[in-house]
Amino acid sequence: FAYRDNRPPQRVEDLGQGEVDGFLRLLVERMPHYRHEFIELSLPRFEAQVRQGETICSVLHVRTPERLQWLYFTTLYPPMLSRQIHVIVRREDLAKFASNGQPLQLADLLRRTDLTGLLPRDRSFGPRIDRLLAAHPERAPRSIVAGRGAHLLPMLRARRMDYTLEYPVAVDDFSASHAGPPELVKLPLAEGRSTLVATAGCSRTPEGRRAIEAMDQAVRQLAADPQREAWIKAWRNGTPIDADDLQRLNRFLDERARGPAQIE
């Protein structure tokens, strides 16, 4: 999710064309009967306001069993290469993360006392990574409340830690809008392949239920659109999609177009 001119969106027209904000734009365009207001919240603040009864929706929250207690979820699009969690490091430090061309193992990183990691507090990275971090809290990277974008890439660039975990597309969006050294590098993580389907979540309130139903309907409209190829190209501003990802996406959309609502 990238901010244009380093400012959060105020209107639909302010949304960028990254993977997340680009898809949000597609959804909003198919929900004209709703008034859309964009607010910037940290993950802990979002949860606090939802638990206080406010109706808010997010396309940044991964579905977890715990979050199902306070959010409704619907599925947006399938896991893709761009949604596989990577280890993000500075290029100057690549030698510290040498792995003979193989994906890094998070378990190995957690055993390293010469490396300092930092993660956004309350963020889920998928079941395999979450389980590893929970099983070894004494070795897990320290977590802090993340600011804008729910990531810590500015702090990594400022050398506040040696690595963090993030989606490649988030790193690309950040690097495009914040040019300059040091260069950030994305290293594949074996456990990163566990990333789940992209989801939207809304508060478990009557208004939230209506909102998640509208978002689910918008996804099914997109899936059934005869101009699917055109909106897929517009989604990420023409950025090519990996052939396997495109096949996976079309298979997912075919099922969404034919199937019933998917709301939990």
User: pLDDT tens across 11-29, in order?
Assistant: 777 777 778 888 999 999 9
Q: Classify 235 as helix, strand or coil.
A: helix
Letter for the amino acid at 215?
M
Please tell me the predicted confidence (pLDDT) of residue 42: 83
Q: Is the pLDDT of residue 2 over 80?
A: no
> What number of H helices and E strands is found in the chain?
9, 8
d(C-alpha 27, C-alpha 93), whole Å: 40
Q: What is the mean pLDDT of residues 232-236?
A: 86
Q: Between 90 and 127, name the one with better pLDDT.
A: 90
The domains spanning 4-80+196-258 and 85-194 adopt the same CATH topology: yes
pLDDT at 161: 93
Q: Which residues contact 22 (CB under 8 A, 6 or more apart)?
A: 15, 16, 234, 235, 236, 237
- Sequence spans of domains, the chain: 4-80+196-258, 85-194
Pick the CATH number of 4-80+196-258 from 1.20.120, 3.40.190, 1.10.1200, 3.40.1350: 3.40.190
Asked if 221 and 257 count as a contact pair (C-beta separation under 8 A), the reply is no
Burial of 40 (0-12, 13-18, 19+ CB in 10 A): middle
pLDDT digits (tens, 9 = 90+) for 170-228: 888 888 877 888 899 999 998 887 557 889 999 999 999 999 999 999 999 999 999 99
Distance of CA 27 to the CA centre of its chain: 16
Mean pLDDT along residues 42-70: 92
**Which one, of 107, 90, 91, lies nearest residue 160 by Cα?**
90
Q: Tokens representing 41?
A: 């919240």
Residues with Cβ within 8 Å of 139's Cβ and at least 6 positions away in sequence, in order, are 110, 111
CA distance 123 to 137: 15
Q: What is the pTM of this model?
A: 0.71
Nearest to 176 by CA among 102, 256, 122, 239: 239
| Contact by Cβ (8 Å): 169, 77 | no
Between the two ends of the chain, the Cα-to-Cα distance in Å is 24
Q: Which of 81, 66, 90, 103 is nearest to 19 (CA)?
A: 81
pLDDT (average), residues 50-65 = 92
**pLDDT for 219:** 97
Compute CA distances 134 → 127, 138, 141, whole Å. Answer: 10, 9, 11
Tokens of 77: 């699009």
User: Biggest alpha carbon distance in the chain?
Assistant: 54
Q: Does the 85-194 domain belong in CATH 3.40.190.10?
A: yes
Q: Is the dihedral of CA 204, 209, 213, 215 positive or negative?
A: negative
Which is nearest to 161 in space by CA: 153, 169, 172, 173? 153
